[in-house]
Structure 1
Amino acid sequence: MTSLRMLTLLSAMLASVLGAPLSHAQSGKPVKIGFSVEAMKGERWQTDLNSFQARAKELGAEVISSDADGDDDLQFKQVKGMIKAGIKVLVLLPHDSQKAARMVDAAKSAHVKVISYDRLVQNSDVDLYISFDRAEIGKMQAEYLVNLAPKGNYVLIAGSPNDDGAKVLHDKQMNILQPYIDRGDIKVTADGYTKDWMPSEAYVHMLEAIDASQGNIAAVLASNDGMAVGAIQALREHNLAGKVLVSGQDADLASVICIAQGTQTMTVYKPIPIQAATAAEAAVHLAKGEKTNADGTTDNGKIKVPTILLKPILVTRDNIKTTVVQDGFQKLKDINQGLSAGQQIN
């Protein structure tokens, strides 16, 4: 091989390496991924972050995380800090799915890929959306309750007005209830959104609903477990706990205990470690310029965002052991510690 041909070949190889997306092996440094959490309240988001970090570490990536404590401006500031720190991909769990568009814009202007995690950022150029099928969750919640109580007064406690996913849940619940409402079998006596999905707000809503209906309530469609627990506390204070059906979502420990006790009717379990691991894997793929496993799209008002929707699982007292316990999401020992001798799950 002549010196000229060798030089040409080496130049081509060098150009190829320099032009390729950096990976851990190529750069000698791990890929940096940012995980911005809107508020680390309750057990849910801590579980997501822990699972995400564990899978990212297995893949050789470094995770920079932040907790915005429900503050949109603080989350924006934290995201800008991550971008400055050199992240290649931003995994964004937004507090306000509308206001978070500026965070996506900031990331894209710095050539940082963005994964919208669990909540879809609206009107923005998100690269990927990973969540559970919220419409399916709302359907599961409403169908389970109406099968048990096809007649009576219903109370709806929806999630945050700043979360578009809360509206999806609520709309699907109403879609299931509407034929019963039209026939006069079901009457919605209270219906409202809840600031930041706060259990304390749900508690107040439930107290007001009990007073307005004089305790004549068949079911409470609470969109998540935190709000379900708040509603159950209000029901308990009026000697209605266990007499009124209550839905939930997330399979939080407190709600699983309530289900075993009979004060909550059901929850929807979302295998969070799978969601978090899927997001970590997708983030590494995007950092390397590779394709993700998106199998559909979701319109966020600006573009059709490539989407991965995972399957939720219905949980009742009958299948606690074969769902959340079997998966290791909740420990049987922890559940039984909150139960009386006669309520123990064996």
Structure 2
Amino acid sequence: MKKVFGILLLALLLLLVACGEEETSSEDTGTDDAPAEENTDESEETENSGEEEATNEDGISIGFSLDTLQEERWQRDRDLFVSKAEELGATVNVQSADSDDAKQISQAENLISQGVDLLVVVPHDAEVSASIVEMAHAEDIPVISYDRLIKNSEVDLYVSFDNERVGEMQATAITELVPQGKYVLIEGADTDNNAHLFKQGQMNILQPLIDSGDIEIVYDQWTKGWEPEEALANMENALTSNDNDIDAVIAANDGTAGGVIQALAAQGMDGEIPVSGQDAELAAVQRIVEGTQTMTVYKPIRDLAERVAELAVQMANGEEIETTTTVNNGQIDVPSILLDPIAVTKDNIDDTIIADGFHSEEDVYQNAD
């Protein structure tokens, strides 16, 4: 009996030892698996992080700060610029300030904080936007002034059309039709440096005729924010103060021309008074073929947008840029590239705007008799 009890006791001890070893083996296996799984995750995370860093380092990021997208012209600029930049491998973050200085500065600050490689700015206010250049340069981000010059700053590059030449084209077209008479000038926004360049160009042509007594400027007003409603009010004031006795109007762009023509139409004078414009907006070229607007200045927007996109990518990559001239902005002579505008009348719409595909023949002539 004692022998049997001893055998049972020995078997029980062996069983307990075996269970202990199995439990220990199980615990060890669990401990080994956990670190192995964590190491795998860390490896994957590091690999993914490396891919993201490579993407950020290799891809060019461009901030595009626009004054407004309310006008057809600026929507075209945006689309053409973004398309070309993306074709060249860059990404573009577009911000529109709705003609609000504080909003544009805030948006630019946000773009800078995102770490864009370069900033392209269409300034609302030429003076106020100098702070954007200062903020960007503090982070070693170059700035291109697009179409409108940023004043009193060390902006890196200015690309636009020859805006003084635009004004000369406007005045030339109108004075050829009305070499003598009473003129109204409906200029652009006083805060836009381009508006001053347009006016300077106009006066290059008008001043000799003013000095000779052939032309009299009976009304001359800036248009706040380039708003057509402001141009309409200005033109109504011009008509009222001159008892409708005017002979010609030089309007700085197609938006202001639209306001002018609306005021003239209210007096039954649309189509009788020559009116200039600029930007070749669809509504404007339709007015030209209808006979209520005399001319516009066509600035091939594709040339400008795509050229700036190419320059932006080159500058962001640290490449040297060749410029054709300089324009003084009140602080420095800004390296500049100025493209050629084209004066458009009813006689050459087909050979310019339509031939370039800027507007279709169907759209241009849809309201024509």
TM over 0.5: yes
Structure-2 residue corresponding to 1:71? 100
**Residue aligning to 1:334:** 363
After superposition, where does 1:74-223 map in structure 2 within 5 Å?
74-223=103-252
Q: What secondary structure, in the 3-state scheme, does the structure 2 residue paired with 1:318 have?
A: coil
State the partner residue of 1:20.
none
Does residue 302 (structure 1) correspond to residue 331 (structure 2)? The answer is: yes
Deviation of 1:298 after TM superposition, in Å, equals: 0.7
Letter in 1 for 2:178: A
SS of 2:244 mapped into structure 1? coil
Residue 82 of structure 1: CA displacement? Answer: 0.6
Q: In the alignment, what sits opposite 1:60?
A: 89
Deviation at 1:54, TM superposition (A): 0.6
What is residue 35 of structure 1 aligned with on the other side?
A: 64
Q: Read off the aligned partner of 2:311 and give its amino acid letter.
A: A
Instruction: Write the distance in 1 (CA, Å) between the matches of 2:313 and 2:248.
Output: 44
Give the CA deviation at 1:272.
0.4
Report deviation, 1:171.
Answer: 2.0
Q: Write out the 4+ residue segments of structure 1 that deviate beyond 3 Å after TM superposition.
A: 24-29
Does structure 2 conserve the Cα–Cα contact (< 8 Å) formed by 1:282 and 1:293? no
C-alpha displacement of 1:27: 6.2
1:250 and 1:25, CA in 2 relative to 1: closer, same or farther beyond 3 A? farther
Which one of 321, 325, 333 corresponds to residue 354 of structure 2?
325
Give, in angstroms, the shift of residue 105 of structure 1.
0.3
Per the TM alignment, residue 337 of structure 1 is displaced from its structure 2 partner at its CA by 2.1
Letter in 1 for 2:145: S
CA distance in 2, matches of 1:290, 1:179: 45
**Matched ranges for 1:10-29 at <5 A:** 29=58
Letter in 2 for 1:216: D
CA distance in 1 between partners of 2:64 and 2:295 (Å): 30
**Structure 2 Cα separation of the partners of residues 225 and 326 of structure 1:** 20
Please say if 1:278 is aligned against 2:297: no
**Cross-structure match for 2:284:** 255
Amino acid at match of 1:261: E
Higher alpha-carbon Rg: 2
Q: Answer 1 or 2: which has greater helix percent.
A: 2
Distance of 2:231 and 2:358 partners within structure 1: 25
Per-residue Cα deviation, 1:236-282 (whole angstroms, up to 9, x for no partner): 11111111000000000000000001100000000001100011000
Segments of structure 2 that go 5 or more residues without pairing to the other structure are 1-52
Show the 5 A alignment for 1:283-294.
Answer: 283-294=312-323
Per-residue CA deviations over 1:110-151 (Å, capped at 9, x if unaligned) read 010100001111111111000000110001110111111001
Residues 119 and 163 in structure 1, CA contact (< 8 A), matched pair in contact too: yes
CA distance in 1, matches of 2:203, 2:86: 42
> 176-185 or 280-289: which moved more?
176-185
Give the Cα separation in 2 of the matches to 1:310 and 1:151.
32
Deviation at 1:25, TM superposition (A): 9.2
Aligned-partner Cα distance in 1 for 2:213–2:330 = 36
**How much identity, in percent, do the aligned residues show?**
47
Q: Provide the C-alpha distance between the structure 2 equivalents of 1:120 and 1:50, rounded to a whole number of angstroms.
A: 21
Deviation at 1:28, TM superposition (A): 6.0
Partner of 1:316: 345
Three-state SS of the structure 1 residue aligned to 2:347 is: helix
Which residues of structure 1 form unaligned runs of 5+?
Answer: 1-23
Query: Displacement of 1:335 after TM fit?
Result: 1.6
- Taking the aligned partners of 1:125 and 1:191, their CA distance within structure 2 comes to 32
Q: Which residue of structure 1 aligns with residue 16 of structure 2?
A: none
CA displacement at 1:26 relative to structure 2: 8.9
The alignment partner of 1:337 has SS state of coil
Aligned to 1:45, which of 54, 59, 74? 74
Using the alignment, how far apart are the partners of 1:331 and 1:293 within structure 2? 35
Q: Which residue of 1 aligns with 2:36?
A: none
* Conserved 8 A contact 1:131-1:308: yes
Q: Distance in 2 between matches of 1:123 and 1:180?
A: 33
Q: TM-score, normalised by structure 1?
A: 0.89
Equivalent residue, structure 2, for 1:3: none
Alpha-carbon deviation of 1:299? 0.8
Map of 1:268 onto structure 2: 297
